[in-house]
């Protein structure tokens, strides 16, 4: 559905870090920021698609798009990777916390390890990536953090208690970080996507029938794609939203 993307001149030459940028929504965000002329770095655990994306975009962007391999569940790896991004590309002025893992599980069979692993990738790392990037942003005069939550926790999803808890937590974290970092000119907002049809979602969870049913419940009758998340993220990252912080933006086509 996305048509020509608006340009946000303040994003040109800005260092932007996107987590989980190797596929799905993250890959669309990497491409969207690269098209703004930003210096884009992304972290992912999936080596092959990430390398291919970085290679493809680097040939057509103003700056090389740089992939950093790391497992975001490892706080030490987060710290060393953020330090490497800063050393290679300069202070991170925009951080998009996009990585997640929306596995389904049942309450009766969920173990403590499963729960901890889900929180590690869906919530804990959002804090520790932000913590690692904040000093550089502060020293550079400010920045913007955009956290990806989800509308799903509002919908009583029976098989997603760990993921839904984490995604609700992302909103609490967004508001707390906004309060702490606002005086340092760092804005923190969250995006709550609705049903966004990506390759992984199609492979694992979605059916054509299910997609049609959800679109029927949307005010806007088109299927949401990863590219539809790019404009709202650019806006929240750019000076165009310079007085907006601690907010949540639902991007779901008006789901009823
Ligand atoms: N697709 C949707 O319908 C939808 C709906 C609501 C919210 N969201 C949110 O939007 C964001 C992106 O969604 P998506 O569907 O593109 O997700 P996805 O699962 O397709 O992609 C997430 C990315 O994170 C990476 N990743 C996973 N675990 C990692 C780890 N331990 N370390 C480093 N990287 C890791 C994956 O390799 C992948 O590239 C997520 O935060 C998700 O919760 C998506």
Q: What is the pLDDT of residue 4?
A: 78
Residue with CA at minimum distance from ligand 1 atom 10: 148
pLDDT digits (tens, 9 = 90+) for 51-66: 999 999 999 999 999 9
Contact criterion met (CB below 8 Å) for 118 and 170: no
Q: Is residue 34 part of a domain?
A: yes
pLDDT digits (tens, 9 = 90+) for 139-179: 999 999 999 999 999 999 999 999 999 999 999 999 999 99
Q: What is the pLDDT of residue 2?
A: 57
Q: Is residue 3 part of a domain?
A: no
- The answer to whether residue 231 scores a pLDDT higher than 90 is yes
Show the DSSP H helices in the chain as ranges: 24-35, 47-58, 75-89, 112-119, 125-140, 161-181, 199-204, 208-217, 230-237
Q: Is residue 66 part of a domain?
A: yes
Distance (Å) from CA 200 to ligand 1 centroid: 9
Pocket residues: Cβ below 6 A from ligand 1 = 20, 22-26, 43-46, 71-73, 98-102, 121, 148, 150, 152, 193, 195-196, 198, 200-201
Residues belonging to the active site: 163
More confident residue, 5 or 11: 11
Q: Is residue 1 part of a domain?
A: no
Ligand 1 atom nearest to CA at 200: 20
Residue with CA at minimum distance from ligand 1 atom 13: 25
Q: What is the tally of structural domains in the chain?
A: 1
Residue with CA at minimum distance from ligand 1 atom 29: 45
Contact criterion met (CB below 8 Å) for 27 and 10: no
Q: Is residue 4 part of a domain?
A: no
Q: Mean of the pLDDT values across residues 83-109?
A: 97
Q: Check which CATH number belongs to the domain holding 213 and give it.
A: 3.40.50.720
Is the pTM value of this prediction over 0.75?
yes
pLDDT digits (tens, 9 = 90+) for 208-227: 999 999 999 999 999 999 99
Which residue segment(s) compose the domain that 62 sits in? 9-251
């Amino acid at each position: 559905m996305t048509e020509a993307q608006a340009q946000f001149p303040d994003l040109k030459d800005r260092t932007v870090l996107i987590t989980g940028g190797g596929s799905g929504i993250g890959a669309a965000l990497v491409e969207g920021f690269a098209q703004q002329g930003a210096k884009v770095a992304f972290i992912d655990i999936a080596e092959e698609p990430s390398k291919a994306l970085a290679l493809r975009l680097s040939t057509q962007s103003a700056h090389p798009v740089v992939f950093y391999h790391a497992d975001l569940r490892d706080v030490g790896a987060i710290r060393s990777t953020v330090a490497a991004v800063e050393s290679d590309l300069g202070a991170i002025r925009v951080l998009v916390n996009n990585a997640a893992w929306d596995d389904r599980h049942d309450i009766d069979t969920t173990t403590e390890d499963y729960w901890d692993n889900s929180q590690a990738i869906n919530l804990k790392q959002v804090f520790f990536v932000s913590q690692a990037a904040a000093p550089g942003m502060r020293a550079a005069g400010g920045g913007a953090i955009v956290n990806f939550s989800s509308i799903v926790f509002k919908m009583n999803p029976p098989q997603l208690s760990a993921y839904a808890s984490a995604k609700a937590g992302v909103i609490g974290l967004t508001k707390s970080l906004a309060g702490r970092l606002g005086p340092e000119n760092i804005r923190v907002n969250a995006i709550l996507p609705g049903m966004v049809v990506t390759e992984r979602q199609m492979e694992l969870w979605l059916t054509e029938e299910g997609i049609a049913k959800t679109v029927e419940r949307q005010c806007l009758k088109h299927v949401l794609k990863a590219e539809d998340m790019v404009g709202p993220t650019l806006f929240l990252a750019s000076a165009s939203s310079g007085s907006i912080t601690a907010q949540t933006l639902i991007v779901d086509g008006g789901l009823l």
